[in-house]
Amino acid sequence: MEIKPLHAWDVSPGEAIRIQITLAGNVQTSGEISHPLLVAGVDVAVDRFRKTGTASVVVLSFPDLKVVETRIHRGPVTFPYIPGLLSFREIPLLVKAFEQVTLIPDIVLVDGQGIAHPRRMGLATHLGLMLDVPTIGCAKSRLCGVFAEPCLDSGSFSPLLDDAGETIGAAVRTRKNIKPIFISPGHQISLDQSIFWTLQCCGKYRLPEPTRQAHIAAKSSLISA
């Protein structure tokens, strides 16, 4: 699929923050997905020695959740990991992987935050703007915001609030008695829809299937390299 460049990636942390503030004005946190047929998961594995990364995009059929396409891209990782600037480290590689994708997904699940970010520009949101496809942020831990512990039942959740009391996401229990994951809208989708479809993508594990498959694809492709 074609991806339109929105800005340069070879920037300083200060410039990156400036770019995020500008892009934040184009985010769409509303939208419904009626009948998804293809759902994708993405991930990036890093080789701390060779300083290279492997980005993966795995497209699964829905609702059966079977892998129908897997794309990998390996390249240098230059930008350092800085909380709040993760997209500048991973998106360059992810875009390369997406350029090889032929089955355009109806939704993309990203392992990281969506708008649950200091400037509302987490990895999922930034990627959604570039792909012009609905994206959902599904993070294993919290970046910012406060929340109450959700009930221990599978499917229960509690809102993630920013310092102003605004809802920016939710702590969602994808399995009974298991640590919740943090879901937030990436782009072109509402929080309710983000939670709903993510739960529809969950099998017998804490993380949604698309994310798990992407994680496996990126990691295995790192071994055979």
Q: How far is CA 58 from CA 31, 61, 69, 127, in A?
A: 23, 10, 6, 15
Closest CB 35 distance from DNA, rounded Å: 28
83 binds DNA (CB under 7 A): yes
Q: How far is CA 60 from CA 76, 109, 139, in A?
A: 27, 11, 19
Distance CA 164, CA 167 (A): 9
Distance CA 2, CA 49 (A): 32
The smaller minimum CB distance to DNA, of residues 7 and 219, is found at 219
Binder of DNA out of 87, 135, 174, 188 (CB under 7 A): 87
Q: Which stretch binds DNA (CB under 7 A): 27-35, 96-104, 140-148, 161-169?
A: 140-148
Binder of DNA out of 102, 177, 204, 224 (CB under 7 A): 177
Closest CB 85 distance from DNA, rounded Å: 5
Contacts of 107 (CB under 8 A, 6+ apart): 33, 36, 39, 40, 133, 134, 135, 136, 189, 197
Q: H helices within the chain, ranges in order?
A: 13-23, 87-98, 123-131, 191-200, 209-223
Distance CA 193, CA 28 (A): 13
The smaller minimum CB distance to DNA, of residues 102 and 177, is found at 177
46 binds DNA (CB under 7 A): yes
19 binds DNA (CB under 7 A): no
48 binds DNA (CB under 7 A): yes
Closest CB 68 distance from DNA, rounded Å: 23
Closest CB 45 distance from DNA, rounded Å: 4
85 binds DNA (CB under 7 A): yes
Q: How far is CA 74 from CA 49, 56, 132, 155, in A?
A: 14, 9, 23, 36
The smaller minimum CB distance to DNA, of residues 105 and 137, is found at 137
Q: Which stretch binds DNA (CB under 7 A): 1-9, 22-30, 139-147, 191-199?
A: 139-147
Write out the binding residues for DNA, residues 55-74 only, by CB under 7 A: none
Q: Return the residue matching tokens 């702590």.
A: 171
Using CB atoms within 10 Å of the CB of residue 116, give its burial: 0 to 12 exposed, 13 to 18 middle, 19+ buried: buried
Binder of DNA out of 41, 112, 128, 134 (CB under 7 A): 112
92 binds DNA (CB under 7 A): no
Q: Which residues are at the interface with DNA (CB under 7 A)?
A: 43-46, 48, 81, 83-87, 111-113, 117, 122-124, 137, 139-144, 176-177, 215, 219, 222
